[in-house]
Amino acid sequence: MLELRAETAIDDGDAEVGPLMALFDATFSRDFNTRLIRGGHEPVYLPATAQTPYHQVVFAHGYFSSALHEIAHWCIAGEQRRLLEDYGYWYCPDGRDATQQREFEQVEVKPQAIEWAMTIAANRRFQVSTDNLNGAEPDRAGFTRRVRAQLLSYLQSGFPERASLFIDALRDRFNGPELTTDFLAKDYPHD
């Protein structure tokens, strides 16, 4: 029986969230002792404890896109970071000033590039998240270009191993297209 650590889970009604959770667990629970958990308001990564003997990638509100975003962060985190709550990172919440927003975006480029690839593999449409509704106005177009450039770099040099495994699993499960630079140019043209 799964123990839900986050606030009361909310189901956004997306019928593919359950299959996504099952796919993550089938891909990673045995080798990495990690489960994907539908959570409440705030996403969080929780390492295993005596009470919960597996690591938890907790995504917000049962949203498919939140799950992919949190999975992307997990795919980048190294072994030592995966032993720390939220990988040991300090999070600056919504309401960031311009400098804090630039720092936030710099850290988010790689995970959002992986999330973009996962979103395409899951046969969905991607949109960057600047996550700052009550702060400095973000440069959404500029951030999208930086995330896209990182995605192109991953396409040329390869994705991190866990990300690559999950992109393939998503494509198989959700019949997503093969992600190529040609597909990206056609479906997601530059500004």
Q: Which tens digit of pLDDT belongs to each residue from 132-156?
A: 455 556 677 888 899 999 999 999 9
Pick the residue with more confidence: 62 or 8? Answer: 62
Pairing state between β 44-46 and 34-38: unpaired
**Distance of alpha carbon 126 from its chain centroid, rounded?**
11
pLDDT, position 106: 81
pTM: 0.87
pLDDT at 128: 87
- Using one digit for the tens of pLDDT, what is the confidence trace for 55-69? 999 999 889 999 999
Question: What is the mean predicted confidence (pLDDT) over 61-81?
Answer: 95
The one-letter amino acid code at 62 reads G
Alpha-carbon distance of 32 to 158, in angstroms, equals 21
Q: Is the pLDDT of residue 103 over 60?
A: yes
Q: How many CB atoms lie within 10 A of CB 41?
A: 10
d(Cα 88, Cα 77) in Å, to the nearest integer?
Answer: 10
Q: What is the pLDDT of residue 22?
A: 98
| DSSP letters spanning 22-45 | HHHHHHHHHHH-EEEEE-SSS-EE
